[in-house]
Amino acid sequence: MQANRHPPNGLALFGARLVLQRLEALTKEIEGTREAKDIEYLHRMRVASRRLRAALSLFKRHCFPKAKVKAWRKEIRNITKALGDARDRDVQIDFLERWENEHQEQKYQPGIERLLLRLRQDRKRLQAPLLQAINHFENSGVISDIQKTLRKMLAHTHLRKVEEWTPEVFNHAFVHINQRLEEILIYEPFVDNPECHQEHHLMRISAKRLRYTLEIFDPVFNNDLKPYIKQIKQIQSALGEIHDCDVWVEFIPQFIEEERLRTLEYYGHDRVLQQLLPGLEFLKEERFKTRQKLHQSFVKNWHQILEAHLFEEIYETVCKTAP
């Protein structure tokens, strides 16, 4: 009989249960996302797909068949991409509709309305590829394959009376939480500099990964990580708002150029574009100034976080709880 490459152990048990929970959170949002009556279904499905990918990444080398995990991650990465493209447009449209209600000066309306029109057109265009991606994901067999493989693993560990909370699980949690803590702190030297847009963006991604990792292993530490998860989420959200401003500031000049080319092609001149510029340029300037304010606020909060030794506390909590 061929030896099991991943013999039953507490880490495999923990990982299998976690991935099945993450998969269920993803699949229950599929129908609502397909119907597209409420954008929150798509938002929740996208977040669920990210959490599922994070879980698979943490346990891929220790718990699951290598070939299967590679195929699973590929399919989940594809559906995450399709969800992300559509969600990004939903967020932009929602923001711009609210922004327009707060800035109703007549001179700004033509530009903002044109931008909203193009965003809505683009979102409508993305719906067909999104539905195609969802259908492919459902028909690929990946959902049933994950369920079948991991349920078999759970049955295997049950028959052998495998304990879940083993030193191996605590060590795995410690290694990955420590890694995520180091990743976010790599960007600490760039926090104060408002020009470090890319580093702030990468820091946001690191905060998200740290948050997901803490959420995964929180039960291992008797839910002692919950207060820290909340604080890391606040860091992620603050950096996300800054990044959103960066996206608008970069996007608007590109949009203006695209509209200029459209008007040239249609009218033979770009004079019509002039009535769009006040609103578009005001939006860009407002987003730039908002970015400055958000960055100043984040810098202040970040130094308070460092003074409170948040990251050291997380590290110490993980260390002292481990057996």
CA distance linking residue 67 with residue 294, whole number of Å: 44
85-100: pLDDT as tens digits: 999 999 999 999 999 9
CA-closest candidate to residue 221, choices 183, 185, 176 = 176
The tokens for 98 are: 């609210």
With a cut of 50, say whether residue 150 has pLDDT above it: yes
With a cut of 90, say whether residue 9 has pLDDT above it: no
pTM above 0.85, yes or no: yes
With a cut of 90, say whether residue 10 has pLDDT above it: no
258 and 283 Cβ atoms separated by less than 8 Å:
no
Give residue 104's pLDDT: 85
Mean pLDDT of 110-128: 96
Q: Domain residue spans in the chain?
A: 1-162, 165-323
Place of tokens 């340029």: 281
The tokens for 224 are: 């002692």
Q: What's the CATH superfamily of 1-162?
A: CHAD domain (1.40.20.10)
With a cut of 80, say whether residue 323 has pLDDT above it: no
35-87: pLDDT as tens digits: 988 999 999 999 999 999 999 999 887 778 888 999 999 999 999 999 999 99
